[in-house]
Structure 1
Amino acid sequence: MTASDQKRERFAAASNEDVLETLHSRVEGLSSAEATARLTQYGPNRITRAKQQSQLKIFLKNFISLMAILLWVSGLIAMLTGTPELGIAIWLVNIINGCFSFWQEFQAKKATDSLMAMLPTYTQVYRDGQLQQVDATQIVPGDVFELQAGNAIPVDARLLEATSVQVDQSALTGESVPESKFVKYDPGEGEFAESNLVYAGTSIGAGTAKAVAIATGMNTEFGQIASLTQQQTKSASPLQRELNRLTKQISLIAIGIGLAFFIAAIFFVHYPAAKAFIFALGMIVAFIPEGLLPTVTLSLAQGVQRMAKKHALVKDLNSVETLGETTVICSDKTGTLTQNQMTVNHIWTRDKTFTISGEGYVANGKVKKDGQVITYRDDSDLNKLITVAALNNDTTVEQDEAGTPKILGTPTEAALVIVAQKAGFDVAAAVAAAPRLKEFPFDSERKRMSTVHQHDAHTLSICAKGSLSDTLSQCTTIADDGKIRPLTDDDRRAIDAANRHYAVQGLRSLAVAYREIPAAADQAAQVDALTIETAEQDLTFLGLTIMADPPRPEIYDAIEKCHHANIKIIMVTGDSTLTAKSIAVKIGLTSDKARVVTGTELDAMSEADLQEALRGEIIFARVAPEQKYKIVSTLQKNGEIVASTGDGVNDAPALKKADIGVAMGVTGTDVAKDAADMILTDDNFASIVSAIEEGRTVYANIQKFLTYILTSNMPEAFPSILFLFSRGLIPLPMTVMQILTVDLGTDMLPALGLGAEKAEPGIMHQPPRKRTAHLMNKHVLWTAFAWYGLIASLISTGAYFFVNVQNGWPSVPLAASGTVYARATTLVLGAIVFSQIANALNCRTKTVSVMRFGIFSNHRIWFGILFEIALFAFLAYTPGVQALFNTTAITAADWLFLFIIPIPIFLIEELRKYLVRRMAKTIN
């Protein structure tokens, strides 16, 4: 037993007087002076977040990635070798990209921080013997405070008084069913089950209580778990690792080619070493995609924006791409797969069954008997059952301004209120007509709740509800077709059979019973004398209310998408094995053959056994949130990329351990949100699937614009190859500044347009890519260099000779300077730009025809195309700029030549895609 467990048990088992003495407190609370002194001693009652990096460090980290370092070095070398304008341009790229990355992450953090809301703002605390409204952060150990339905609990506390208290502890335990709390000590089953202790981060579902604070802030159970979570470090995302790998690959390729060209320039062309170095630097610049980092960053940022519209807030840009790799989703059930709205869908009585339509908290549903819509007035048994359920109820359901139901109480009791409304029953009128005189709250021992009401001047009604076995054991009669008769063994067998019938379907049953007794002359004394034993006897069994938490309507399509995408979904819930499996099978998450493992069984399993079990169909039920960590880490050891959902503080370690931690934005605690990579603003599993689809799309788009960016490297390098192999007879057809113009100018906006491309059809019908798959794979290299790049190289080289032929070559030597040379290099630049126009369109799809995809559907690409044409014209016709970039005005014939270039390139690629599709169809 841990020190924390021992402390809890000590406070739970002690008497009220001993607890107050230990805390040096009193029933009437602390004085203001004592509270002030203790606030100094213990500090404010708040969960402190892990020490955050300074904004300066966060800002600077965007300038020290491998690619950024490579660009800093390239810029420095350019400056040292006499081309300061080249160096400045390269450095500006780094600065702009780093600032943009910082701004995007800063905005994401602001959006996340705005969701962080855990502790209540004010609490009713006894100070100086008076009940005062105190800021929750000012509560100290020993403070005595009051709680009522709807209140969040601000501290760990021991109950001093309690009336019908139900506490939602799902933030700590993951269990969706509220826990009953009372002053009498009962250790309960499982962690945080002590009957007279309540915990920070949980909330009161029903009842009222007075409690004394035993721990505040980081000393609460909530705070201790948060502290452990904050000590964990998050490893680099797959995209970060992949970009680092890509940078190393490109660096080695560029430096290797630069070194080869340096040697060749010295020995083939007989350049001096300094001039050969400048020449080699040009080749390095040609093969380093300077625009890759800003394009990747902007593409991820666009993905973040699209996800936000689909209710998924991503905190870290790199997490967008990681989603696309996800192979397993560990998902909660309540509120994520289901609506977290307990709903009565059947009412069973001895002689008939009623079906209730309308899922969730929909008050306009209908009650049907034998398919016919009825009201409670149409059947006396139904009338009585609904009346008893409405009276024996501490929950109210109100509508807010938007028409959304607001529950003050427990989901189970709310379901009974709603079913009464569906039957046309006036709950408020019934409560007013039969005032409550006494209550025997629900407790975990007898599993019943009873209330005593004034039926009329001469009669008292005792209304009861609870678990079937514990309620039926107190019944001696049964309501049958409007009559009351003795309860027989056949009746008991029929009731048990009905209960089993619904239990197999994963439905929960609640028994309803009542008793009427004559009112005595001294009614007050009679009621006061009633005990649980005397009240809850000789009850009349009315029937069963059958309820379930219905699946979200969109969950079916979302799960089907996951199955097509080979993404495994594992339900991890605190609910019962029967309920968990029934829901899993119903929504298509697993087959009926799935293995169900409980939390107790999970603790007993070895790592090897768990690894093997996780390879098959499996459901985890009755597990504590902290056990998710073991599940997630074991899946990762199996080589899976894991997304895990959670909302409670105990979920935080698993959220941080997972490759993608997904916190609930509506019901989630701030510790869970802080640990997660993504926050769902609608708590909906379908939003995770949409985010995964977006992640896959982002990765595909990164490959598309990587292909596009690398394509221009080939025609940029080809002129230098001609220069070398001709031993300098062919002057350099393209200058270093012109190369940089393509990399940082004309290529950028079309590349960003590719980053915003919609998903190709069937992207969720493909399995997750393997961890061994890389951004720069054989397909990318082949397409960029040997296909698109080769075509563009031939065309741009042809453009160079096209100008020289017009000016007398081969009779006249190739121009190495002057107007003809400037026009030739300008046309080479133009040929690359217009080849890239076709390549931008071609890269939009891998196999699908762009015409079918919608040639004008991506407006950003067309804006980029217009921009690069305008930029080329600006460089060609602007005095002053011409000298810097070695350009000049071109003729109308040159423009005609350039505008023709994209047409054959686009059509040739469309033909290739058509042949690929036809071959794939033939094979299949």
Structure 2
Amino acid sequence: MSILVSVYPSHEEDIGLHKVEDFTLDTRHLEDLVSIPKNPKRLADLGGVKGLADKLNVNLDEGLPVHMIMTEESNLRIKRYGRNILPDPPQDSLWSMIIDALKDETLIILVIAATISIILGALKWTSHDPKTGWIDGVAILVAVAIVTMVTSINNYKNQGRFLELNKKSADKQVKLFRGGQQMLVSIFDVLVGDVLVVDTGDIICGDGVFIEGHSLVCDESSLTGESDPVKKGSPENGMDPFLISGSMVQEGFGRMLVTAVGVNSLNGRIMMSLRTEIEDTPLQEKLGVLAERIGKFGLAVAALMILITVPKYFITKKVNDEPITAASVSDITQIVVGAITIVVVAVPEGLPLAVTMALAYGMLKMFKENNLVRNLASCETMGGATTICSDKTGTLTQNVMTVVAGHICKPFDDVDYNLRYVVPASIQTILTDGICVNSNAYEGTNSKGRTEVVGSKTEGALLQFTKTFGADYVEVRKRLHVEKLYPFSSARKRMGVLVTLDEQHVRLYVKGASERILEACDSYLDADGNIQPLGADAKEVYEKAIFGFASDTLRTIGLAYKDYKKAEYDYEEADEPNFGLTLVGILGIRDPLRPEVRGAVRQCQGAGIVVRMLTGDNIVTAENIARKCGILQPGDISMDSFAFNKMSEAELERVIPRLRVLARSSPLDKLRLVNKLKDMGEIVAVTGDGTNDSPALKQANVGFSMGISGTEVAIAASDVVLLDDNFASIVRAVLWGRNIYDSICKFLQFQLTINIVAVTVAFVGTIYGNGKSPLTGVQLLWINLIMDTMAALALATEPPTPDLLERPPTGKDSPLITRTMWRNIIGHAVFQLTVQFVLLYIGTDIYNNFVHEKIIKDSVRHYTIIFNTFVFMQLFNEINARVLGNKLNPFRGIFANPIYVTILFITVVIQVLFVTFGGEVTSTVPLGVYEWIGCVVTGFFSLVVGLLLRMIPIKEPSYLKNHGKFETSPLLDGANKYGSVD
């Protein structure tokens, strides 16, 4: 049946060379094809898969043309069917952020009070001086506008940074056919009509229909609600042909024709309806609570100040026999404005802003260092990690697999073309056919046009090995007809494929973990290629070969086969046999260690982080590699999955503190270990690349997936993607995680000092002075701008230093403000308050000893000196805030952060302009040279005070459990010096 649908006229005009007949379907006619419930009748009406392909102008064998990016045809398809990308989520405009910022209750009250102050100050009968009475109110409004603009602009930029990183996290490579070639392209470039290759562990990136495949089973529970996996196949065979975007391939592999992408796909429509805002991280929430509490304290202080100051004003008027005039209304308004300003300064809205800025900056830097953060909270969590459970392949090793030795009929340790004369010709076909057909890997072209192995690196190494015998995997796969696939199972540690041998026979090829394959064999191929019974002596030879390869840190792979009569083997129902196989041989594959791994492991250990290796290798290989990495040291223990599973929970709790290697580990083993570590109070990071790793990745405090070798399921379950699959990148993530946490702590101790001092000076100065605060509303708002925004930006962009990895991790129960931070906060607050009150009450006497023009107490000049000194104490204290703990040198690496230096310089320049040219707007007057020197020198003493404070020894309590505790278990009796249990 042919369906002809007209194209919109505007499309014809845009397309130019293409005609209406180029496509006979558009999105409206494909929406109900892959839907819930599924619509097989619709597919039949379209002529089945072949008819659908014809209507989409695609060849099912060749796929779309090779060059389909930014071409006229691709543009046509995009206009007709859409791109495989969801539109950006709604973003707040800068204007809306400004409006939201102005909705703050304290700012609203301040704006209202300032407006009333302007009106009263401009009226003759309510103002002491109508010509200047309105200035204070206008200045406050301008200051509010500046604070609001700076905060909103920062938030707007951070929003853009997060959006950019989210786009990068969504981009990945997928496999498809174009021009008859298998190639890798970006998921964003997948088009309707593409022939997509799906494999075990893939998350399907668009709706489509089944073309061909083997044992293809998908998990559609997250979309359909059906818990049972769905087998995919041809509708002629009564199977489900529809593949739904967002579903996961549990088993098998195959090809599908893409019929809907992006917002037109089923998953795209669901995702668009479920979009939510980014949630705050735990630290942001914790700081939000702290900010709220401090704000309530400031509100209480402001209310108390009004309750004391207003009655005092009228009492003073009465005592001095002064009349209460209309101008008194303006005076009371100024008191209220001052009180509200205290609330504005007291509320540390810069705390959540500092977290956001630190996270945004840290995430961008981490991306440049091959860590793509998918979950904001993981940035701060990683800094507190106490243990890392790492995979071996690709993370600790280079994932450059090469067959270097083996035992096929006879041992060999040199792989070259002479090997074809060593291995009997009679079994070379069995060897190469088994490897080529029992594999999902292939040589493909990536988006940059380079040829590379796509799929398992181990399978890639085996395919390269077959070239030694002149085999071509493409020819082998075309020649052999696959009857049934047995996908790799982490439980069985092997995979198999059943192929047609001739009209009467089928052959099962199996490969997998060498010990498991050896156990399933009852015969082997001898030196002449003849089948012999696998007796105890022959078995011992192969066991020694496996042990020898493993001792040389080689991964060992076993190869076997078995022939069956078709009539005797029901391959539609039978499971892969566990016995009776014929052993072809054992291959040893070398995957060199990454050269930087040993140093990275040493850094982790120096940082108080325990590194554990979880691998599918046998225990001998695992131990040797772990020793070379520095993971396994004398006194540590290693064990395999069998011993691990025999242990009770109580025994595990005693053994785990010294467990460093878990060999032949299964996904359930990894998950059990992660859960147990968490129960013991550890903060656990886990690495994984396979679909079977996803439960552990999800359960861990921080999950690291592999950007190169990782499956889509593993990436979706993780918090951070290692773009280079390198363990050293995890160390960088730890470094940045700790740096982000430290940046927030630095800002916290800096801000709380200002909170305490500013509120106290304004309150005490107003109560015990002449009823007027020495720090005006405009001045307090300028201090607030320094404190909340500029300091947040300066301290949040501090780069990490190596000494962050020279201390133990922060315990999850440790307080946000440590003892050393309280020492610094209280110490600097006492110093600054002392200086401020000395200046307030006897400052004029001190300054009048060396200035030419006498300073009158409580004059504008007097208060300008107090304000100027206060700001410079904060500027020098901002340098103190660069260090935490007892480090003595706050200038170390200061020029490594140009943002910090620039902000410090800009703040000084603005302060000079503020004081010198502010006049009545800022309630300041120009100061003389000696007065400037006095303010700067007094502020400089903050550095001296900071040095003295850091010399006071403070010992932080340990919030980490004793991870070195180790008790023996009956299962460990007879363990070697490394505690090996197998």
Common fold: TM-score over 0.5: yes
The question of whether the paired residues in 2 share the 8 Å contact of 1:156 and 1:216 is answered with: yes
Q: Among residues 391, 400, 403, which one is paired with 1:344 in the alignment?
A: 403
CA distance in 1 between counterparts of 2:40 and 2:351 reads: 65
Q: Which residue of 1 aligns with 2:527?
A: 478
- Provide the C-alpha distance between the structure 1 equivalents of 2:671 and 2:681, rounded to a whole number of angstroms: 16
- Residues 867, 656 of structure 1: alpha-carbon distance in 2 compared, 3 angstrom cutoff: same
Say if 1:67 and 1:244, in contact at 8 Å, map to a contact too: no
Give matches, 1:243-642, under 5 Å.
243-266=287-310, 270=315, 274=333, 276-289=335-348, 291-315=350-374, 319-327=378-386, 334-348=393-407, 354=413, 367=414, 377=418, 381=422, 394=436, 406-407=452-453, 411-418=457-464, 439=480, 444=486, 447=496, 466=511, 469=518, 473=522, 475=524, 477-478=526-527, 490-500=537-547, 502=549, 507-511=555-559, 544-547=586-589, 552-567=594-609, 587=629, 593=637, 617=659, 623=666, 641=683
2:833 to 779, 783, 793: 793
Evaluate the alpha carbon distance shift between residue 492 and residue 48 of structure 1 in structure 2; reply closer, same or farther with a 3 A threshold.
same
Alpha-carbon distance in 2 for matches of 1:210, 1:746: 59
Residues 587, 740 of structure 1: CA spacing in aligned structure 2 closer, same or farther, 3 A cutoff? same
* Separation (CA, whole Å) in 1 of partners of 2:525 and 2:716: 55
State the AA in 2 paired with 1:865.
L
Give CA deviations for 1:793-852 in whole Å, capped at 9, x if unaligned.
Answer: 333455554445555999x998467xxx23222222221232233212222223223278
Query: Using the alignment, how far apart are the partners of 1:891 and 1:230 within structure 2?
Result: 63
| Unpaired segments ≥5 residues, structure 1 | 1-18, 37-43, 127-134, 173-180, 185-193, 355-366, 368-373, 453-461, 516-538
**Alpha-carbon deviations, 1:721-757, whole Å to 9, x = none?**
553564539x643322122222214885455332222
Preserved CA contact (<8 Å) 1:345 1:548: yes
What secondary structure sits across from 1:885 in the alignment?
coil
Q: Kindly tell me: are residues 814 and 209 of structure 1, through their superposed partners in 2, closer, same or farther at Cα, counting changes over 3 Å? A: closer
- Matches of 2:943 and 2:828 in 1, distance apart? 10
**Equivalent runs, 1:145-160 vs 2, <5 Å:** none
Say whether 1:824 aligns with 2:862. yes
Residue 863 (structure 1) aligns with: 902
Alpha-carbon contact 2:522-2:533 (below 8 Å) kept: no
Partners in 1 of 2:749 and 2:762 — Cα distance?
Answer: 21
Structure 1 residue 242: deviation in Å? 1.3
Query: Alignment partner of 2:304: what SS?
Result: helix
Cα shift at 1:27? 10
Q: Cα–Cα, structure 1 residues 581 and 439, in superposed 2: closer, same or farther, change >3 Å?
A: farther
Question: In 2, Cα distance between the equivalents of 1:70 and 1:329?
Answer: 46
The amino acid that maps onto 1:248 is E
CA–CA distance in structure 2, aligned partners of residues 451 and 282 of structure 1: 85
TM-score, length-scaled by structure 2:
0.63
Aligned with 2:924: secondary structure?
coil
How do 1:164-313 and structure 2 match up within 5 A? 236-266=280-310, 270=315, 274=333, 276-289=335-348, 291-313=350-372
The residue that corresponds to 1:364 in the other structure is none
- SS in structure 1 at match of 2:588: strand
Change beyond 3 A, Cα 1:471–1:124:
farther
Shift of 1:235: 6.7
In 2, the alpha carbon distance for the partners of 1:65 and 1:661 equals 35
Give distance in 2, aligned partners of 1:598 and 1:61: 58
- 1:682 aligns to 2:724 (yes or no): yes
The one-letter code matched in structure 2 to 1:111 is L
Q: Describe the superposition over 1:59-112 as per-residue Cα deviations: whole angstroms up to 9, x where unpaired.
A: 969987999565555555555566354255335434542443243233322333
1:650, distance to aligned residue in structure 2 (A): 8.0
Q: 1:897 aligns with which of 922, 928, 934?
A: 934
Q: Which amino acid aligns with 2:365?
A: R
Change (3 A) 1:779 1:265: farther
Counterpart selection for 1:909 from 946, 950, 964: 946
TM superposition shift of 1:884: 0.7
SS at match of 2:931: helix
- The 1:656–1:890 alpha-carbon spacing in structure 2 relative to 1, beyond 3 Å, is same
Counterpart-to-counterpart distance in 1, 2:919 and 2:277: 52
After TM superposition, the score normalised by the length of structure 1 is 0.66
1:110 and 1:324 map into 2 onto residues whose CA distance is 23
2:403 aligned counterpart, secondary structure: strand
Task: Identify the match of residue 885 of structure 1 among 910, 918, 922.
Answer: 922
Q: Deviations over 1:240-288 (max 9, x none)?
A: 2212121122112212322333334246665786554334334334433
8 Å CA contact retained: 1:119, 1:154: no
Where 1:889 maps in the other structure, the secondary structure is coil
Contact residue 706 and residue 724 of structure 2 kept, 8 A: yes
Q: CA deviation at 1:397?
A: 5.1
- The 1-side partners of 2:347 and 2:681 are apart by 33
Equivalences, count: 798
The equivalent of 2:144 in structure 1 is 90
What do the CA deviations read for 1:156-182 (whole angstroms, capped 9, x no partner)?
9998876xx79999999xxxxxxxx99
Give me the whole-angstrom Cα distance separating, in 1, the residues matched to 2:240 and 2:589.
Answer: 26
The answer for the alignment partner of 1:783 in structure 2 is: 824
Q: 1:896 to 1:747 in 2, by over 3 A?
A: farther
User: Are 2:521 and 2:534, in contact at CA under 8 Å, matched by a contact in 1?
Assistant: no
The alpha-carbon deviation at position 210 of structure 1 amounts to: 7.5
1:105 pairs with one of 144, 150, 159: 159
* C-alpha distance in structure 1 between counterparts of 2:199 and 2:897, whole Å: 53
Change (3 A) 1:296 1:677: same
Contact 1:643–1:660, Cα closer than 8 Å, also in 2? yes
SS in 2 for 1:883: coil
Contact persistence 1:242–1:774 (CA under 8 A): no
Deviation of the 1:299 alpha carbon: 2.9
Write the letter of the residue equivalent to 2:51. Answer: S
Query: Which consecutive unaligned segments of at least 5 residues does structure 2 have?
Result: 1-38, 57-79, 119-136, 181-188, 222-230, 317-330, 487-493, 502-506, 564-580, 958-982
Partner of 1:766: 807
Instruction: Give the Cα–Cα distance (whole angstroms) in 2 for the partners of residues 577 and 46 of structure 1.
Output: 51
- Distance 1:773-1:101 versus aligned 2 partners, 3 A rule: farther
Moved more, 239-248 or 849-858: 849-858
Question: Structure 1's 257 and 653: CA in aligned 2 closer, same or farther, altered over 3 A?
Answer: farther
The answer to whether the 8 Å contact 1:647/1:663 transfers is: yes
Output the amino acid matched with 2:527: I
SS at match of 2:406: strand
Contact 2:218 2:251 in 1 (8 A): no
Change (3 A) 1:694 1:169: farther
Equivalence for 1:116 = 170
Shift of 1:697: 0.9
Alignment match of 2:874 (pick from 836, 846, 864): 836
Return the letter of the residue paired with 1:381. V
- Name the amino acid aligned to 1:344: V
1:239 Cα deviation after fit: 1.4
Percent of residue pairs bearing the same amino acid type: 22
Note closer, same or farther for the CA distance 1:114–1:857 as it changes in structure 2 (3 Å cut). Answer: closer
Residue aligned with 1:254, SS: helix
Of stretches 503-512 and 48-57 in structure 1, the one that deviates more from structure 2 is: 48-57
AA paired with 1:894?
A: E
- Distance in 2 of aligned mates of 1:401 and 1:385: 41
Match of 2:889 among 834, 844, 850: 850
1:691 aligns with 2:747: no
Moved more, 703-712 or 487-496: 487-496
Instruction: Please state how far the C-alpha of 1:311 moved relative to its aligned partner.
Output: 1.4
